[in-house]
Structure 1
Amino acid sequence: MEYTQLGRTGLKVSRLVLGTMNFGPHTTEADSHAIMDAALDAGINYFDTANTYGGDPRGRTEEIIGNWFAKGGDRRDKVVLATKVYGSMDPSREDWPNHTKLSALNIRRSVDASLQRLQTDHLDIYQFHHIDRATPVEEIWQAVDTLVQQGKILYAGSSNFPGWKIAQTNERARQKGSYGLVSEQCLYNLFERRAEMEIIPAAIEYGLGVIPWSPLHGGLLGGMIRKEAEGGRRAGGLTADRLAAPGAREQIQAYEDLLAKQGLDPAEVALAWLLTQPGITGPIVGPRTAEQLEGALRAVELELDAELLASLDGIFPGPGATPEAFAW
């Protein structure tokens, strides 16, 4: 496993991030524990979750991770643990005014609940799952600084923030003498490259590590067309909608044909491509099975030559950074 600094911090993290969204809804607790053991054995030390993960009930994923930590073996000490706050934990309370988003009250309430479910005394990275347009940034940093002073969190990160919000949030942190955001999780992959316009340049400018989520774009980049032709699971839901978009099937077919000629696995190439991009710390991989984890691990060792990278850009051209993306 390769390691890198998380943004401007001194924290070293693996170049693959273990995503845990499937733990609970799609993967049993026993299998989830086996996957985490395998990930740790392979050198993955960066585990990502969120307080709302788990299906019904929300929070179940954090509980599964907490039970894994409780097995001992220095599991917690070996892991860089990240979770998130924003959404409501109880559908029956979604209309309660102070049980969602990023008020100091909800941050305080949510971090304590996450710590209890995760069976740990601190979070390494506490991430805002979405921007909160109503809560002043100063209030958010007041809450974060208090949690840092209490030893409950070490760093703060963001998820799904636009570039301007990354800049605003870190400028306000600088004014307060706070450390600011250290990471941004965003939707970014070969097919969906709009993060290159504003989000990634802002993250690089402010020293945030970029953690792409959905690196296979819901399976679209994982050999979807070939699997369909072989009688495998057909694309459904949002993935089917993406594949039905004008020109999308032709792009994916060209992608699969290119890699088939070179004997390369589409999913592994999609992950390896992300590791070549500026500002990227490592993509989130969310395996449902141990076999899926093994495939993701091979991507770290896969080297893509300049010719292949150019061919991939030809199939999936990026927009480039703004203003050049839409102006001279």
Structure 2
Amino acid sequence: MTGTSALRFSGLGKRYGRRTWALRDCSLDLPQGNVIGLVGANGAGKTTLLQLAIGLLKPTEGTVSMFGRPLRMDSPAGLAEVGFVAQDHPLYRGFSVADMLRYGNSMNPRFDRPGAERRLRELGIPTEHRADRLSGGQQAQVALTLALAKQPRLLVLDEPVASLDPLARREFMKTLVEAVAEADLTVLLSSHVVTELERVCDHVVLLHQGRVRLTGDIDDLIAGHRMLTGPRTDDTAGVAGLIAATHGTRHSHLLVRQPVGMPAHPRWEANPVGLEDLVLAYLARPDTEPPQAASPPPPEPAGPGRRLSIVTDPSAAERQA
């Protein structure tokens, strides 16, 4: 990773109509050369953020910059920087895979047709077949291959594995990881499948109700949180850094954000937490700001007691025309 941001959002917001804000007060600095996971519930603003990031939407407020420059998607140079795969993997259904490769080669100045053909051979996808005759997993792989063949600096994927079965999902992610390893590429990937993101992503952004609730390097976030288990207590009001609390008959479990190395209270057992548990806990929080301070848990009580990819998105191409 270099010092240059791949994407920088400053006070970004998007309003539909007069009152409905899909995204508000979004300020992010996403690192270059990383695979960045974007997570959140349906309606959280993920697709809006991705479309703002690649110029398919104009912000109501705030700014977007890409690789240190203001976002410009109205020029061939700007379009060449970005590859995009939408959720439904839009392809020209009446085209054969070979037709789409020829079209992509004619429309994109850096299009790597030999590399795309090699990738498809390795995946066992026949190029003479029409797109509408391919399986869902094969369509997703073709869409990804076409986007990668542009040799973009930024690859944006909007829920690319949402409709795939587990095997196709795994193959798609494997292809993505191999592509990132071969190229100087930044990936922004939205998905509901948090376990997949934990395997392939370096960085995560969590959106909730149109606002950023959590962002950071995944390893750092996981290292900075832990699950404390101790005697049952309902008195958690004084626990700074508390994200979520669950209670059993005899024990309480507190997910807390605390500085690495801070010792737990001697009566409490500290355990690591996974990304999925972390995401779910933050989504369940009633507030929108992560805690800034941390302190040990309470003592034991006395009683018992969460067109950018021109060749893969025809509708986007029409909007750019």
Which band: TM-score by shorter chain?
0.3 to 0.5
Specify the structure having the higher radius of gyration (Cα).
2
The structure whose residues are more often helix, as a share, is 1
TM-score (ref. length: structure 1): 0.33
The structure whose residues are more often strand, as a share, is 2
